[in-house]
Structure formats: structure tokens, C-alpha cells
Amino acid sequence: MKFAVLGAGSAGQGIAGYLALKGHDLFLYNRTPERIAALADSHRLKVSGIVEGEAVIQAASSDLETVVSNVPYVMVTARAGGHESLVEQCLPYVQEHAVIVVFTGYWAALRLQPLLKE
């Protein structure tokens, strides 16, 4: 399966690395090119913890279209304050029936529901 992970902080890299090690195709986004540059060049994430290994990802970019186009599952792991803006920015590029999962502890998924219905 193909997954896009939006946010290349610890949660995003952890999820991307885990899913890639499990054999899924991963596309990783971060809004700041500097933060994602090393991953964009290497396409590799070192994973340690419950699972161990070097995960290969298909793409890492600060361009949303590159990351979310043709990907049926989108996971938003960016900071909570940026969820709504990030989801709005990626909507023109996501597949019509894509599943968007927002990782948050502050009920952002409920706030985003009206936007995602469009």
C-alpha cells in the first residue's frame, strides 16, 4: 500500500519508518526543505526500537503535490496548529476517496470534518 506522511518530526519519521519496514511505499512531506533535504537525498530512515532496520522511502519532499498525488492513505503528523492549513493545501492533490488520518490529542479531526466533506 502507498502512504503519505505529512510532517517529518519524530512521529512522522517513526510512522514512515515502521510502515516502510513492513513493505509499504512511503512518501514523506515536511514544509521546510532544510528539514527534509537529507531524507530527500538518501531515501533512507534508520529505525530503532521495537522494530530495527533501515527503511527505504519512495520520496521525501517539501512539495505536497509530489508527496500526496496518487497515494490513497494520508497521515498528518505535523504540529496541531498547522493541521487545518496543511489539510487545505493538500486537498487539491489527494485522490477523491483518500483516507486522511490526523494524529492529534486536541480533537482536530472533528474540526477538520467539515473541510474534508468537500
- Domain CATH number, residue 49: 3.40.50.720
Residue 83: predicted pLDDT: 74
Burial of 69 (0-12, 13-18, 19+ CB in 10 A): middle
Burial of 10 (0-12, 13-18, 19+ CB in 10 A): exposed
| d(C-alpha 19, C-alpha 107), whole Å | 24
**What is residue 113's three-state secondary structure?**
helix
Give the sign of the dihedral formed by CA 33, CA 48, CA 79, CA 102: positive
Q: State the total domains in the chain.
A: 1
Residue 105: predicted pLDDT: 65
pTM of the model: 0.86
Half-sphere exposure of 71 (CA within 13 A, CB side): 28
Residue 50: predicted pLDDT: 86
Q: What is the pLDDT tens value at each position of the chain, 118 positions in all? A: 999 999 999 899 999 999 999 999 999 999 999 999 999 999 999 999 889 999 999 999 999 999 999 999 999 998 766 778 888 999 999 998 999 888 876 666 667 777 777 6
User: What's the domain range around 84?
Assistant: 2-117
Measured at the alpha carbon of residue 84, what is the angle toward residues 82 and 85, in degrees to the nearest 5? 65
